[in-house]
């Protein structure tokens, strides 16, 4: 099987200018191959998220990009998202699957634990997320993962894995080479000095180089 790795965007935790962020999101999505967008507006209430996210869901889905709601299956249903991303302290995978149905995409944060990842994969999760791999100001890292966890995962398990935590175009190639199926990025895109579109283009260049290294 030819190895693949794609970009997975995560919103900032707060949107002080929703219109400006919508324009940034459009630019990022139009700059290259983006697989998914996770709506993670941790600094807003659920009602605020419902109002802020509708336009973002539409912008992404109109471009064929899957949209996942962080934490809340109920909001995912309300906003017509494609699925949900769950942390270990959120609703259980089984309960989320019952709410969302068999076609929804459900991912689970597993931090630096292969045991948690195996439990999620065995339950039927569509992907598991490992991290944080680098320092990040977006959220307090619960654990620090290393490259070996993805190398072993890629060799032994078919469920896709997402690398998360402080990922930028500059530091991502080793993650691709180690076996990440997706790179989750937030500040590495929205805070890029050249803007979100330049960040996506830079990520894609580095992903391609990392995939070549993985095949060699």
Q: Please check the confidence at residue 212 and state whether its pLDDT lies above 80.
A: yes
- Which residue from 131, 78, 73 is spatially nearest to 105, judged by alpha carbons? 73
- Give the domain ranges of the chain: 6-215
Question: Which pLDDT value is given to residue 140?
Answer: 62
Q: Give residue 215's pLDDT.
A: 84
DSSP H or E run through 166: none
CATH topology of domain 6-215: TIM Barrel (3.20.20)
Give the pLDDT of residue 206.
97
Q: Is the pLDDT of residue 151 over 80?
A: yes
Q: Using CA atoms, how far apart are residues 125 and 85, in angstroms rounded to an integer?
A: 10
pTM as predicted: 0.96
DSSP 8-state assignment for residue 76: H
**Residue range 88-117: mean pLDDT, rounded:** 96
- Write the DSSP string, 10-65: E--S--SSHHHHHHHHHHHHHSS-EEEEEE--TTS-HHHHHHHHHHHHHHHHTTT-
- Angstrom distance (rounded) from CA 214 to CA 193: 29
The two tokens of residue 54 are 């509708």
Instruction: Reply yes or no on whether the pLDDT at 194 is more than 90.
Output: yes
The pLDDT, as a whole number, for residue 83 is 98
pLDDT tens track for 12-58: 999 999 999 999 999 999 999 999 999 999 999 999 999 999 999 99
pLDDT at 5 over 90: yes
Average pLDDT over residues 145-162: 96
Mean pLDDT estimate for the chain? 95
């Amino acid at each position: 099987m030819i190895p693949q790795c794609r970009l997975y965007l995560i919103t900032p935790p707060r949107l002080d200018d929703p219109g400006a962020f919508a324009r940034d999101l459009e630019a990022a999505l139009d700059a290259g191959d983006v697989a998914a967008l996770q709506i993670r507006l941790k600094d807003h209430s659920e009602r605020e998220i419902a109002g802020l996210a509708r336009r973002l869901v539409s912008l992404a889905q109109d471009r064929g990009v899957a949209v996942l709601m962080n934490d809340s299956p109920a909001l995912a249903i309300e906003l017509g998202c494609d699925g949900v991303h769950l942390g270990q302290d959120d609703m259980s995978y089984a309960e989320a699957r019952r709410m969302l149905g068999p076609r929804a995409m459900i991912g689970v944060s597993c931090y630096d634990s292969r045991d948690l990842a195996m439990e999620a994969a065995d339950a039927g999760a569509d992907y598991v997320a490992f991290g944080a791999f680098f320092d990040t100001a977006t959220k307090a890292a619960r654990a620090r993962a290393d490259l070996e966890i993805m190398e072993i995962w890629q060799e032994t398990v078919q469920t896709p894995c997402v690398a998360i935590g402080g990922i930028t175009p500059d530091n991502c190639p080793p993650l691709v080479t180690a076996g990440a199926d997706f790179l989750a990025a937030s500040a590495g895109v929205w805070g890029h000095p050249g803007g979100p579109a330049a960040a996506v283009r830079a990520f894609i260049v580095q992903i391609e180089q990392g995939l070549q290294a993985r095949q060699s």
